[in-house]
């Protein structure tokens, strides 16, 4: 089918070029033919790329409009939890109201070896900047359908968590622009620390202006050969921007996709529009095949230490810092006065002894 189409295109292109001798400007003619040929080829390959990707979208792992097979019944392919609600345009995980939690979880364990997940979502609300929260998370974990403190999911989870954190809980986070997107790999005992916006455990991330955006906002997660990459497309340029790249990451198969969200004192609408899972065709050398046969039972990252950051106790504020300095100077002054007077007495005593 594709070959036939290409041949027709080529024929069209050839006859098109043969019609041209009526023009004298040989160079222009050739240039135009080249240009047309390039256009034909480019449009063909762009369309081919599309076909190729669509072919591999795995419906059984994807959540797309019109959201059939989503619901609260056990036969659903995706299960809803908490405040999650289906509308024609999105699955609203939480409304812009305080203290809500909502989630949606796939019922199918993921058995695809090399994959790419494209997520489209929308976070919007009436709160002013940094007076909104808490954000959204996307999951590929052993556990599913749990309530908890991590964006509406349990802590000490086992597997992958990708967080779109819209509220800086820690003062130390102010060196990062929020919203902040980050990746964490849980092993069942590691804890996500909300007080520090997950900083002690994050493996990478980036700032992304995704709240109240006029553009469609997307995440792209790709996992192949123990490498996980995260990209974002948030500024309407239809381009993927690198956000995180983690090698040596081992993720067992048979985990579940999910998306969750929570609001607290601060809130936002957290809308999931789609999660599309594509199977990738990846070639492997015999060694890589061997390496892949090793059974992975717990998620791990090689050289975990490289990601670890020192998170200090909440430091001093400007005022505290100033007071400390003033007291130090006064203290030093007092000390030197005391020292001087002691020295003076000692000298006097010595003089008395000599006479
Ligand atoms: C999980 O990872 C942490 C940090 O690398 C480690 O201390 C802990 O022992 C691991 N837990 C399990 C169950 O492997
Ligand atoms: Ca936060």
In a domain, 316, yes or no: no
Question: How crowded is the C-beta side of 214, counted as CA atoms within 13 Å?
Answer: 1
Q: Are residues 37 and 149 in the same domain?
A: no
* Cα Rg, the chain, nearest whole Å: 30
User: Same domain, yes or no, for 258 and 284?
Assistant: yes
Residue nearest to atom 14 of ligand 1 (CA): 187
**Contact by Cβ (8 Å): 104, 272:** yes
For residue 132, being part of any structural domain is answered with: yes
**Rounded average pLDDT over 37-58:** 51
Q: Is residue 327 part of a domain?
A: no
Helix H or strand E encompassing 257: strand 256-262
Collapsed DSSP state (helix, strand, coil) of residue 106: strand
189 alpha carbon – ligand 1 mean position (Å): 6
Ligand 1 atom closest to the CA of 189, numbered from 1: 11
Q: Whose CA is nearest to atom 5 of ligand 1?
A: 304
Pick from 290, 307, 324: which residue ends a domain?
Answer: 307
Look at residue 24 and tell me if it is in a domain. Answer: yes
Between 333 and 86, name the one with better pLDDT: 86
- How far apart CA 94 and CA 307 sit, in angstroms, is 32
Classify residue 335: in a domain, yes or no: no
DSSP string, 17-31: HHTGGGSS-HHHHHH
Show Cβ contacts of residue 37 under 8 Å, excluding neighbours closer than 6 positions.
Answer: 13
% of the chain surpassing 70 pLDDT: 77
Assess whether 230 and 107 both reside in one domain. Answer: yes
Measured from the CB, is residue 298 less than 6 Å from ligand 1? yes
Contact 243, 220 (CB under 8 A): no
Of residues 91 and 56, which shows the higher confidence score?
91
pLDDT tens track for 109-124? 999 999 999 999 999 9
Atom of ligand 1 nearest to the CA of 298: 14
Which ligand has the minimum distance to the alpha carbon of residue 303? 1
Structural domains counted in the chain = 2
Place of tokens 């390959």: 45
Whether 323 is in a domain gets the answer no
Note whether 65 and 38 are same-domain residues: no
297 lies in a domain? yes
* 32: in domain: yes
Which residue range(s) make up the domain with 66? Answer: 59-307
181-199 mean pLDDT: 97
pLDDT tens, residue by residue, 6-34: 434 444 444 444 444 444 445 555 555 45
Assign residue 240 the CATH number of its domain: 2.60.120.200
Neighbours of ion ligand 2 (CB under 5 A): 165, 167, 169, 197
More confident residue, 350 or 188: 188
On whether both 96 and 29 belong to a single domain, the answer is no
Task: Tell which of 286, 307, 328 closes a domain.
Answer: 307
Same domain as 18, residue 80? no
Helix/strand/coil percentages in the chain, nearest 5: 30, 30, 40
191 CB less than 6 Å from ligand 1? no
With bands split at pLDDT 50, 70 and 90, how would you rate the model's confidence at 4? very low
| Of 184, 187, 302, 304, best ligand 1 pocket probe by most atoms within 8 Å of the beta carbon | 187
């Amino acid at each position: 089918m594709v070959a036939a189409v290409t041949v027709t295109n080529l024929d069209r292109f050839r006859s098109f070029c043969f019609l041209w001798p009526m023009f004298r400007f040989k160079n222009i003619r050739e240039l135009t033919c080249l240009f047309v040929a390039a256009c034909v080829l480019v449009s063909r390959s762009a369309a081919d790329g599309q076909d190729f990707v669509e072919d591999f979208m795995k419906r059984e792992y994807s959540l797309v409009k019109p959201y059939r097979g989503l619901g609260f019944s056990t036969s659903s392919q995706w299960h809803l939890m908490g405040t999650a609600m289906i509308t024609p345009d999105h699955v609203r995980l939480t409304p812009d109201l305080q203290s809500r939690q909502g989630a949606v979880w796939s019922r199918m364990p993921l058995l695809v070896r090399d994959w790419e997940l494209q997520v489209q979502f929308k976070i919007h609300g009436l709160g002013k900047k940094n007076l909104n929260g808490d954000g959204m998370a996307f999951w590929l974990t052993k556990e599913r359908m749990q309530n908890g403190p991590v964006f509406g999911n349990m802590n000490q989870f086992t597997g992958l968590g990708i967080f779109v954190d819209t509220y800086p809980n820690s003062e130390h986070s102010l060196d990062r622009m929020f919203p902040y997107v980050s990746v964490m790999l849980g092993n069942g005992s590691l804890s996500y620390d909300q007080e520090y916006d997950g900083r002690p455990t994050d493996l990478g991330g980036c700032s992304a202006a995704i709240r109240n955006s006029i553009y469609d906002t997307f995440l792209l997660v790709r996992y192949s050969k123990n490498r996980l990459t995260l990209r974002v497309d948030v500024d309407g340029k239809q381009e993927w921007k690198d956000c995180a790249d983690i090698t040596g990451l081992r993720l067992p198969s048979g985990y579940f996709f999910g998306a969750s969200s929570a609001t607290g004192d601060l809130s936002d609408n957290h809308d999931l529009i789609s999660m599309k899972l594509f199977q990738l065709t990846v070639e492997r050398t015999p060694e890589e095949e061997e390496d892949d046969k090793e059974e992975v039972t717990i998620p791990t990252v090689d050289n975990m230490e490289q990601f670890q950051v020192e998170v200090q106790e909440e430091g001093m504020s400007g005022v505290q810092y100033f007071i400390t300095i003033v007291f130090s100077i006064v203290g030093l002054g007092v000390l030197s006065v005391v020292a001087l007077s002691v020295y003076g007495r000692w000298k006097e005593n010595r003089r008395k002894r000599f006479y």
